[in-house]
């Protein structure tokens, strides 16, 4: 491409990386892919997913699931970040 000209895809990517909407967009992508990442059973018993300052907050009322997710924090971080294509999630909190 000629100097000073950017394709639309690169321009949108750069805009989103600088935008204050990026964390919310990443949260929505996690919510949309949660079942694919964690399976139907876990997704069914997950009440909510929030992404706040690099921390993924997973809410469930099922005690055994809370325990399983607590033991799987590193795996969750790895799976979610791989799906997003960058290191967005730094910690997981189970509520």
Q: Are 58 and 91 in contact (CB under 8 A)?
A: no
| Domains and their CATH numbers in the chain | 21-94 (3.30.300.20)
pTM of the model: 0.79
Q: Does the structure show a pLDDT above 80 at 6?
A: no
Average pLDDT over residues 35-57: 94
Model pLDDT for residues 16-29, shown as the tens digit of each residue: 767 677 778 889 99
Mean pLDDT of the chain: 89
How big, in percent rounded to 5, are the helix, strand and coil portions of the chain?
A: 55, 15, 30
């Amino acid at each position: 491409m000629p100097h000073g000209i950017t394709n639309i895809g690169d321009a949108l990517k750069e805009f989103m990386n600088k935008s204050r909407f990026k964390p919310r967009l990443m949260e929505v992508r996690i919510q949309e892919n949660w079942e694919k990442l964690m399976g139907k059973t876990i997704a069914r018993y997950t009440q909510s997913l929030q992404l706040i300052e690099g921390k993924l907050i997973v809410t469930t009322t099922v005690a055994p699931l809370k325990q399983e997710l607590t033991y799987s924090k590193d795996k969750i971080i790895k799976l979610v970040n791989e799906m997003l294509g960058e290191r967005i999630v730094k910690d997981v909190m189970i509520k």
